[in-house]
Structure 1
């Protein structure tokens, strides 16, 4: 692995865009604002900066299953709001990871694939122009279409 040290000037140059990206993520609601342990229902409740509230049962996280209610109550937010931390238990959980874990894996893949398909780049645009110059996407021919067979049923 190459050792690449950043200069002080490069670090200082990266700070304003990083702060702007963090501010934007917080405005869109992608950061946790509060977190608490709900003893009555044995779950962790998280409120996002968008006002969305979600909760997950402690038993759904193997690392938290043996923790006492007192230990679970000592949950804290990371400075960015992107993670939950139990210092005494040495456990860190990603808020985004928790949200993704709550969604069916097949649905998660479909959503991520749809997002990837919306991505644009100069390379993708250039490929579309080349394909368009060739006449676009080839039409399905009758020969390539899946054959349909009908069976006669004797009556």
Structure 2
């Protein structure tokens, strides 16, 4: 039988490369260590491994807009800290995408930008 990943030394090299890539990503990419919903200010607050804090109003995020406080408060952080999940709302977000201002699909974002442009004109 042919080993699809090669010999043992190839496998060990691949595992080491994966470990290095993971360590580099953990050191350079935003990782959440805590996240919660602030009902008073109506903000999702994310504490990052770097010590920075990022927040956004849920009404601009696809799947979170118009959700009730109880559901917004149930935030799960992925094990590596790169994502957030709301089970009851069936919503998932990458921390890095949120920080880049990506709060949903291209269609969602186009509508959001249209609304913001309309508000600025008014």
Structure-2-length-normalised TM-score? 0.67
Deviation at 1:17, TM superposition (A): 2.1
Whole-angstrom CA distance in 1 between matches of 2:45 and 2:57: 9
Whole-angstrom CA distance in 1 between matches of 2:62 and 2:44: 14
1:113-124 alignment, distance < 5 Å = none
Whole-angstrom CA distance in 2 between matches of 1:7 and 1:55: 43
Equivalent residues of 2:29, 2:96 under 8 A apart: no
CA RMSD of aligned residues (A): 2.2
Post-superposition CA distance 1:12-37 (Å, at most 9, x none): 64333222222222233521111111
Equivalent residues of 1:75, 1:84 under 8 A apart: yes
Whose radius of gyration is greater, 1 or 2? Answer: 1
Specify every segment of 5 or more residues in structure 2 that has no aligned partner in the other structure, as ranges.
103-122
> Secondary structure of the residue that 1:97 maps to in structure 2?
helix
> Secondary structure of the residue that 2:79 maps to in structure 1?
coil
> Secondary structure of the residue that 1:63 maps to in structure 2?
coil
Show the counterpart of 1:7.
5
Higher strand proportion, which one? 2
1:104-119 alignment, distance < 5 Å = none
Equivalent residues of 1:28, 1:50 under 8 A apart: no
Show the counterpart of 1:88.
88
> Secondary structure of the residue that 1:101 maps to in structure 2?
coil
Whole-angstrom CA distance in 1 between matches of 2:32 and 2:38: 16
* RCO higher in structure (CA 8 A, sep ≥6): 2
Post-superposition CA distance 1:7-62 (Å, at most 9, x none): 38666643332222222222335211111111111111111111111100111113
Specify every segment of 5 or more residues in structure 1 that has no aligned partner in the other structure, as ranges.
1-5, 103-155
1:55-134 alignment, distance < 5 Å = 55-101=55-101
Equivalent residues of 1:46, 1:54 under 8 A apart: yes
- Work out the number of aligned pairs and report it: 97
